[in-house]
Amino acid sequence: MTKITDNMRKYSSKVVDGVESAPARAMLRAVGFTDDDFNKPQIGIASTWANVTPCNMHINKLAEEAGKGADAAGGKSVIFNTITISDGIANGTEGMKYSLVSREVIADSIETVVGCEGFDGLVAVGGCDKNMPGCLIGMARLNRPAIFVYGGTIKPGANHTDIVSVFEAVGQHAKKEMDLIQLKQVEDTAIPGPGSCGGMYTANTMASAIEALGMSLPGSSAQEASSADKSADCFRAGQQVLELLARDIKPSDIMTRKAFENAIRVIIALGGSTNGVLHLLAMAHAVNVELTLNDFIEIGKTTPVLADLRPSGQYMMSELVAIGGIQPLMKRLLNAGLLHGDTLTVTGKTLAENLSQVSDYPAGQDIIRPFDNPIKKDSHLVILDGNLSPTGAVAKITGKEGLRFEGTARVYHSEEEALTGILNGEVIAGDVVVIRYEGPKGGPGMREMLSPTSAIIGKGLGKDVALITDGRFSGGSHGFVVGHITPEAFDGGTIALVEDGDMIIIDAETRTLSLGVSDDILTDRRKRWKQPEPRYTRGVLAKYAKLVSSASEGAVTDK
């Protein structure tokens, strides 16, 4: 048990101490507080439990374990909930517009509850794409001792399938390579139970980034959701937050510029999601660390892709878990001089100290490549500029698709229109599918284009068709895809001026996204362009559209 001192009750003492706080104590007695509990540091346990998605369906039990750990270490845990949504369920629908918005709602709700209730420390347990950055943004704003726990990865489905297998099966059915019975078999067996999507998609990308950042206990990012290791991870996190309180170690001490550089290195080495760019920019903003798209360019020049993981590779996260997770990879990166070993972590030790006793991967494994045989010698997260994306765009190019694509534009004003065009054969080899008015403001909400990209792959057009958008992509998307194009169409970015048949060039080597139209023609088109009316005028989507910043700045709402 951690030795408890008065300075560990910096916030809760203002809520429960003194005669004038009798009403507050009376309320807390009704939820289980005893006289002794009022003298303990209060630890908020932010649970993202919900039965709306397998990613989070088990997190209530994990939150309880974190609470038990905090109580065992001498604190008083209080579990509260924040929301979750499911990208995998909402993808391809109007509902997906709420996905990125939920990151801000989660951050706001955690900040609101912890700030109001006077919790001294915080453990947050998240298990889906927006839970994780949302939790970290909330922690950064509060700047109280805090630890994040990943809810864990899902087990593979039958025949090595996962959620992306189902999306791609839809495209295979459209191509008449799969009948309805086969499609139903994939649908029925791809998701076997609790946990986040099983490849190096956004959930596992962000869990890995947060561990590399130092805000999770070592190993937290690489555990199966239903494992004993995950339950133990939660208990230890509850205990450790008391140690952070005792030593007054706060997120701002851990989430430094060097720590963000470590996180970028790790997600590149793992072949992680483009959403990692968006979320790390937002998390850095929340903790007042300057981070820009240019940092991803510079770090990417010297960081190889080493992990052969889905969606572009063959292995799943559960298979990486089985050989040791990301800790041996981080030790390799550290030994190669690619990580800052002196960054502080939630263990109270430095990253180098945490990794000092880590063993290398077992001989014969081929999930993590050696440095002399990488998947790609530099980053797959390619930041593009050019006349189509003058303030930046993000491509996910592993090299398997090639490094350059030149084709003619086929323009759609929504994801639904594009999906219909792909499935009915309107999109053909040599096309660059342009999906616009799906940016943070224009969507609003910057939907993921998993349905269109999966349909392209499923129809066998992955190497013959490119897709660009001012929206974003699921971590499950692969192929020649470019998202986060800024300025977005709603703000009059060049993407708003593209017409069917225009030549578009995507070049990963020169890092350019070019529209083959003269400046004079673009000037004439701009004179005729009119900004569309907002799609929503009331409610959370309308508020988000008014507040949100550019994707190149992390799409934050408090800039």
Are 555 and 99 within 8 A, CB to CB? no
Token readout for 212 is 């590399």
* Rounded Cα gap, residues 222 and 324, in angstroms: 8
* Rounded Cα gap, residues 511 and 514, in angstroms: 10
* Rounded Cα gap, residues 438 and 491, in angstroms: 11
Report, in angstroms and rounded to the nearest whole number, the Rg of the chain calculated over CA atoms: 23
* Rounded Cα gap, residues 292 and 305, in angstroms: 21
Residue 362, helix vs strand vs coil: coil
Residue 412, helix vs strand vs coil: strand
Q: Which of 273, 474, 477, 514 is catalytic?
A: 474
Q: How far is CA 261 from the centre of its chain?
A: 16
Q: How many CB atoms lie within 10 A of CB 27?
A: 10
Q: Closest Cα to residue 71, out of 234, 275, 207, 221?
A: 234
Token readout for 14 is 């203002």
102 labelled catalytic = no
Residue 85 phi, psi dihedral angles, 5° rounding = -125, 170
Write the secondary structure of 245-282 as one string of H (helix), E (strand) and C (coil). HHHCCCHHHHCCHHHHHHHHHHHHHCCCCCHHHHHHHH
For the packed helices 180-189 and 163-174, what is the interaxial angle rounded to 10 degrees?
Answer: 170
Token readout for 229 is 């290791």
Residue 411, helix vs strand vs coil: strand
237: which residues sit within 8 A by CB, 6+ positions away? 66, 69, 123, 147, 149, 216, 217, 220, 346
129 carries a ligand binding annotation: yes
DSSP state letter for 422: H
* Rounded Cα gap, residues 224 and 190, in angstroms: 16
130 carries a ligand binding annotation: yes
87 carries a ligand binding annotation: yes
Phi-psi region of 126 (alpha: psi -120 to 50; beta: other; left: phi over 0): beta
Angle at alpha carbon of residue 465, lines to 464 and 466, rounded to 5° = 130
Q: Closest Cα to residue 135, out of 191, 198, 59, 71?
A: 59
Alpha-carbon dihedral 412, 414, 419, 425, rounded to 10 degrees: -20
Residue 121 phi, psi dihedral angles, 5° rounding = -145, 175
Phi-psi region of 207 (alpha: psi -120 to 50; beta: other; left: phi over 0): alpha
Active site residues: 474
Q: Which positions make up the binding site?
A: 55, 87, 129-130, 448
Annotated binding site for [2Fe-2S] cluster: 55
* Binding-site entries for Mg(2+): 87, 129-130, 448
